[in-house]
Amino acid sequence: MLSKHASLASAAVLVVILAVAPAVLGEYYLSFLTQLLMMVALAQAWNTISGMTGYVSFGHATFFGMGSYAAALLLPLGVPWWACLIAGALVALALSVPLGFLTLRLRGPYFAIAMLGLNEVARVFVTLWVDLTGGGSGITLSPELLPSLTTSYYTMFLIAVAATVIVAAIYHSRFGLELRAIREDEGAAEMVGVNTTRDKLAAFVLSALIPGAAGAVLVMYTSYIDPAAAFAPAVNIQMIVMVMFGGSGTVWGPVLGAGLVMGLREVFWAEFPAAHLMLLGVLLLSVVLFLPGGLMALFTRRKLVRPEVAAGPQERPDG
């Protein structure tokens, strides 16, 4: 829709605006923006695996929760907040390798269901390991350990930018082309030399890293975590809807989707979280039935070359 230069220019403007926000905005709006940026990060992460490769995950909150707990456990031990952030990302990364190895052998809906199951296994696991995690009561962090709101904001900002840059880099690279080929027809992709196992795993690991980091930042921002919140269906639902509504597999779709979902949250979440989620369910259903390509599909026009016009061989309609 926009030329490459226009896209980059608007992105740059956006980045500058977001960078100076803390100087201008009060706590409420800064808080809102922090959460918005987290949503963007999560959406782009989900996009990396589900949008780009077509392996739709119903349980990516697993990595978000793992990152949260990693940070929540390390912070009281005196580990500096930025190291906790890295730890969160690394824990998610470390887990994603064996998990991806196992789940990526499954196709389509079975992968989705397996991820959903893993999400619940993670939740139950954390709940049962009471000695370490405090079980269902969760972990509360004392305020003096926590970084300031501004720090959290900038961290989340960097994570969101990183996530978007990752998606953009993949999108324009040979790796991205291979992922798209996998999404279209994995067997044929294998047949033209694409190492599908390696590519899928790489995408999966990249998609786990960001939620791990974001989860770590979130717990340091809210000062509390419990299994229900860390591995919440709401996290999964929002990830899925943001990306599918915005445009799965695109660079800007997830950003649009995140904006929309956060906008809806502002209206509904405080009073009626259930209403917000219900609306997301309606959105998801609508997208699946009527607009599978999401919003971005409305904006992109495919270049069509009509065969009669092009200098091609004379075609009789073939089979």
Short-list 69, 49, 35, 46, CA closest to 138: 69
What's the Cα-to-Cα distance from 288 to each of 20, 39, 54, 243, 306, rounded to whole Å?
A: 38, 21, 14, 12, 29
Our finding on whether 302 is near other proteins (CB under 8 A) is yes
Indicate which single residue of 16, 109, 148, 169 sits in contact with other proteins (rule: CB under 8 A): 109
Indicate which single residue of 62, 96, 127, 155 sits in contact with other proteins (rule: CB under 8 A): 127
Indicate which single residue of 233, 259, 291, 297 sits in contact with other proteins (rule: CB under 8 A): 233
**Shortest separation between residue 243's beta carbon and other proteins, angstroms:** 11
Q: Considering beta carbons, is residue 92 or 280 the nearer one to other proteins?
A: 280
Give the other-Cβ count within 10 Å of 48's Cβ. 29
**Shortest separation between residue 127's beta carbon and other proteins, angstroms:** 7
**Ranges within 75-94 binding other proteins (CB under 8 A):** none
Indicate which single residue of 170, 240, 256, 264 sits in contact with other proteins (rule: CB under 8 A): 240
**Ranges within 11-50 binding other proteins (CB under 8 A):** none
Task: Give me the residues paired with residue 225 across strands.
Answer: 139
Output the six-digit token pair for 88: 């969160």
Our finding on whether 129 is near other proteins (CB under 8 A) is no
**Shortest separation between residue 207's beta carbon and other proteins, angstroms:** 17
Give the other-Cβ count within 10 Å of 36's Cβ. 22
Residues 271-300: x/- map of binding to other proteins (CB under 8 A)? -x-xx-xx-xxxxxx--xx--x--------
Short-list 294, 281, 265, 280, CA closest to 33: 265
Angle formed by the axes of helices 196-222 and 149-171, nearest 10°:
170
Our finding on whether 169 is near other proteins (CB under 8 A) is no
| Strand residues in the chain grouped as ranges (E) | 139-140, 224-225
